[in-house]
Structure 1
């Protein structure tokens, strides 16, 4: 099979040489995701050419796997008939995601061409707040009414099989479309045809509301191993379903966002290789400027103690080690707490317990590092015992302070409505640096008589 050796250079050559029949044959043998990954690297003209070679039953599946920015450019370049076919074949949640970032004029133009049912469903999803369950859900789900038999239920599923986003579970509603229970496809298959679904259906333990935050929805999937979750409105009427593939995308986005915030980068929605130099610059420069300005405080502290440093210049040599160790200690605590908060292992009410635990950990770390550093300073740096004592006492206190600050700031941030990831290493390091210098010069004044 040729598809296992197909690469972007070979595809470009075949398209340039007008070997369209060969390209079509190769693409038909490939997986939809692999096709999407391959053709999205093509220039716009060749991308459209390759996409039009795909069979209709493959085109939509390939389209939904293409990068979002490429999707928007592609759909705008297709004919009215082609775009109509793709949009109507897409699940509503995928179509809503496509339109979310598109210009309003283009959205209006594209939606005006699709059938009214599809248009209404997409418009409903676009009205929900971003990152809510309503904006994630698909409206194509298996919906059964109470009182049906197994045979009637299976026949209903068979007639609309191509319209469902998930097949593992059916949702049972009453006459007012209120969600009352679920039934697995397995139960439909193993029970007798004349059995009422009321006799085998199970109570629906969990359902998301349309306004529920996507992170709360993801928690349901994580805790209960769901592959799909029903979505209800304020009156408990079934309006959609969220599937595991949507949640996997959300978890990836949330993790990426947290990592970027922890590294003092403004979160971006594009992958690294799709982000331009200027966009990357804009994402990084705000926090760098803020951290640079905040570092002015540490500079001012050192300036205020210039006379003491002049009397004991050897003290200057240990400033980087004290600041770096304190920053590292605070960073360890903050990352652990941010992770625990994201998993809902702890909450603000646990702050006392967390500080108590981190204080004990800090004490053990501080004593160990202090003793090791004391020996190292005497044997390698060959300074006086009083200087070594000054440095090591500062190190001990700095580590304890750093770990307490590192564990408490993320919890306080979450309590007042900020993302705990903001209180990660760069931010905490700046605070700890200032604290370590104040402690250092205070101890030096007491022990060395500065």
Structure 2
């Protein structure tokens, strides 16, 4: 980075041009991210045309949008024209509709229709992810004819490692790997080599489900078909890696009670961050008034034994932490496909056994601390320790069950994570604490 800035400052443009050609597109995209608008445009225009397209594809959506404002419309049209089809769609989805219209003005009617069709697919669906740049073959081709066809058309395709066999109506009949084609006898027919038992997905399938399919079957690419089984595109593993990153980020936001956003934190405006955080915080703040109402209801208990107040934060905090542990493990297991809704009884039984052992251990330690070290009465130590034991059981069981219940209700399990769970548990812990204290202390 320092070397690039130094060349710009010294106006060593020829040297900079040569240096850029030795670098990887992703590294150049990262450097451009940290440059001023003037230097950003300068460095980009020093790149050879084909290399500039690779660099543009490596940029995130914010940097692409930034560049689209810095260059003129003719440059932008030429740049978009040379992009891989899926990269082209990704870019056009992120920019204003008016700019999309200007970019597509000079496109051929067929391409413009196809692009508009892709832009109309539901967001986060297979249709919005796929590319049309794949190798298709006919089953009556010989191996020699197939290799000639791949050589003729393959340089324009996203991948040639898997080829797709279609009939005259573009219905998908089979798939075949480039390896199988190359190693086969040149006179063999493709229909005798193709694999008829293959995985395919429809255009409307959700991207999170597609990521699960890639993981389960260890795929590098998967064909996308319409409702009549006609091949319309493919999705490759590099697109799925981006999907996995997006889904994980979204889950982290939900687990922290934040509205999901696609913008990077450092590029987010203050007002957008406020909008992202405020609604959930308001909901949680209002729901937390339940705990205040409970404390008010049991004010007579606290007034008689004020020492009980000392242990409220510890009990509520322990309950929240225990519940978060179990919910996090279950949410992760759901995301990895390790557990399903029908496993809820197994989960509850496992969490119950775990909570018994954890609860007994913590209750014994807590009783010893309160009675022997802090010198509170044995009744107070007993009330707090029993509450702690019950709290652990409630927290582990509820923390394990809520994500499954969320999935049954077709909600994202991540929303049942820490903030929501903690609010529920705080209410239950206080009711349990004061009820047990009234009985043991005879208040």
Q: Same fold (TM over 0.5)?
A: yes
Conservation of the 8 A alpha-carbon contact between 2:175 and 2:198: no
Aligned ranges for residues 88-103 of structure 1 at < 5 Å? 88-103=81-96
Which of residues 216, 220, 225 in structure 1 aligns to 2:209? 216
Which of residues 264, 272, 277 in structure 2 aligns to 1:271? 264
- Is residue 140 of structure 2 the alignment partner of residue 147 of structure 1? yes
- Is residue 56 of structure 2 the alignment partner of residue 63 of structure 1? yes
SS in 2 for 1:220: helix
Aligned to 1:320: 313
Conservation of the 8 A alpha-carbon contact between 2:61 and 2:94: no
Aligned to 1:229: 222
Conservation of the 8 A alpha-carbon contact between 1:32 and 1:58: yes
- Is residue 105 of structure 2 the alignment partner of residue 112 of structure 1? yes
Displacement of 1:288 after TM fit?
Answer: 1.9
Aligned to 1:3: none
Change (3 A) 1:446 1:425: same
Conservation of the 8 A alpha-carbon contact between 1:334 and 1:410: yes
Displacement of 1:14 after TM fit?
Answer: 2.8
Query: Which stretch has the larger CA shift, 60-69 or 266-275?
Result: 266-275
- Is residue 284 of structure 2 the alignment partner of residue 304 of structure 1? no
Change (3 A) 1:150 1:76: farther
Aligned to 1:182: 175
Aligned ranges for residues 5-16 of structure 1 at < 5 Å? 7=1, 9-16=2-9
Q: Distance in 1 between matches of 2:202 and 2:74?
A: 36
Query: Which stretch has the larger CA shift, 70-79 or 20-29?
Result: 70-79
Aligned to 2:343: 350
SS in 1 for 2:106: coil
Change (3 A) 1:26 1:114: farther
Q: Distance in 2 between matches of 1:306 and 1:421?
A: 35
Conservation of the 8 A alpha-carbon contact between 1:36 and 1:62: yes
Deviations 1:202-251 (A, max 9, x none): 11421010001111111111011100000000000000000000000000
Q: Distance in 2 between matches of 1:356 and 1:256?
A: 31
Query: Which stretch has the larger CA shift, 11-20 or 358-367?
Result: 11-20
- Is residue 392 of structure 2 the alignment partner of residue 403 of structure 1? no
- Is residue 121 of structure 2 the alignment partner of residue 163 of structure 1? no
Aligned to 2:288: 295
Conservation of the 8 A alpha-carbon contact between 1:309 and 1:315: yes
**Could you list the runs of 5+ residues in structure 1 that have no partner in the other structure?**
1-6
Q: Distance in 2 between matches of 1:32 and 1:227?
A: 22
- Is residue 198 of structure 2 the alignment partner of residue 200 of structure 1? no
Deviations 1:79-111 (A, max 9, x none): 344223221221221111111122111110011
Change (3 A) 1:222 1:120: same
- The normalised TM-score by structure 2 is 0.97
SS in 2 for 1:230: strand
Conservation of the 8 A alpha-carbon contact between 2:150 and 2:160: no
SS in 1 for 2:159: coil
Which of residues 228, 239, 242 in structure 1 aligns to 2:235? 242
SS in 1 for 2:137: strand
Displacement of 1:16 after TM fit?
Answer: 4.1
Q: Distance in 2 between matches of 1:174 and 1:355?
A: 51
Deviations 1:179-219 (A, max 9, x none): 11111111111112222111111114210100011111111
Which of residues 412, 416, 419 in structure 2 aligns to 1:419? 412
Q: Distance in 2 between matches of 1:403 and 1:124?
A: 48
RMSD of the alignment, in Å? 1.5
Displacement of 1:369 after TM fit?
Answer: 1.0
Q: Distance in 1 between matches of 2:181 and 2:128?
A: 30
Q: Distance in 1 between matches of 2:68 and 2:150?
A: 31
Aligned ranges for residues 328-407 of structure 1 at < 5 Å? 328-407=321-400
- The normalised TM-score by structure 1 is 0.95
Conservation of the 8 A alpha-carbon contact between 1:374 and 1:389: yes
